[in-house]
Amino acid sequence: MTIIILLLLAYVIGSIPSGLWIGKLFYNTDIREHGSGNLGGTNTFRTLGKKAGLVVTIMDILKGTAATLLGSLPFFESTNIHPLILGILAVVGHMFPIFARFKGGKAVATSGGILLGYNWPIFILLIVGFFIILKLTKMVSLTSMILALIALLYSVIYYFTVEHDLPLIGIILIITIFIFYRHRSNIKRIKEGTEPKVKWI
């Protein structure tokens, strides 16, 4: 029973629709009705501005971190569930949130939160990489997909040089598939040359 509670809690944490709640509570705006209609940080930036976008992005990151660290709480220590499993459930919750009719974000920030909770050096690497690649591409979607591939490459190198952490490779591979799948429409717009570009970097 404790295991079921832990798994459900990880999903529920991921299901918190940060963009939707911040938009409605503080801006009287449903961001699903604006921009891309997505609940993630990027659409929040476009629809509500930098302050709201930053808050939502941080909240989405911390969802992944919180879920990943759940198993270390005293009540759940005996469950022995790998933290990455809890993290991936939060990502599923973010993409298909029970609190927002199962229509959520694109998994990027919450996936980063998993890495923050599990292997923080790779999180720092990806944050630095995000701004460098975004500066070059001007597209958040393309940057996110490139970072997913970088994370996957890092996990493989980490496996052969530091620690044989096969679960890390497996989870990052799943995350990479999620991210590319959730960016299908973006990939099409990138090919057509119509993908929106950021102007603040």
Question: Where in the chain are the domains?
Answer: 1-107, 119-201
- What is the residue whose two structure tokens read 């102007």? 199
Q: Which of 96, 187, 197 is nearest to 148 (CA)?
A: 187
Q: Is the pLDDT of residue 39 over 90?
A: no
Model confidence at 35: pLDDT above 90:
no
Cα separation of the two ends of the chain: 48
In a 10 Å sphere around its CB, with 0-12 CB exposed, 13-18 middle and 19+ buried, how is residue 55 labelled? Answer: middle
Q: What is the pLDDT of residues 135-189, one digit of tens each?
A: 999 999 999 999 999 999 999 999 999 999 999 999 999 999 999 999 999 999 9
| pLDDT band at 14; cut points 50, 70, 90 | very high
% residues pLDDT > 90 (the chain): 82
- Residue 79: the pLDDT is 86
The phi-psi region of residue 49 (left if phi > 0; otherwise alpha if psi is between -120 and 50; otherwise beta) is left
User: Does residue 55 register a pLDDT over 80?
Assistant: yes
pLDDT of residue 147: 96
Q: What percent of the chain has pLDDT over 70?
A: 100
Q: Would you state the pLDDT for residue 76?
A: 86
CA–CA distance, 20 with 29 (Å, rounded to integer): 8
Of the CA atoms within 13 Å of residue 167, those in its CB half-sphere come to 12
Amino acid identity for residue 152 in this structure: L
What is the pLDDT of the chain when averaged over all its residues? Answer: 94
60-86 residues labelled b (16+ CB within 10 A) or e (exposed): bbbbbbbbbbbbeeeebeebebebbbb
Question: What is the average per-residue pLDDT within 24-43?
Answer: 89
pLDDT of residue 36: 81
Token match 């990052």: residue?
172
CA angle 96, 84, 109 (to 5 degrees): 50
CA distance 123 to 125: 5
Q: What is the pLDDT of residue 183?
A: 95
93-122 pLDDT per residue, tens: 999 999 998 999 998 999 999 999 999 999
Contact 35, 43 (CB under 8 A): yes
Band (pLDDT 50/70/90 cuts) for residue 77 is confident
Average pLDDT on 66-90 reads 92
* Other beta carbons less than 10 A from residue 49's beta carbon: 11
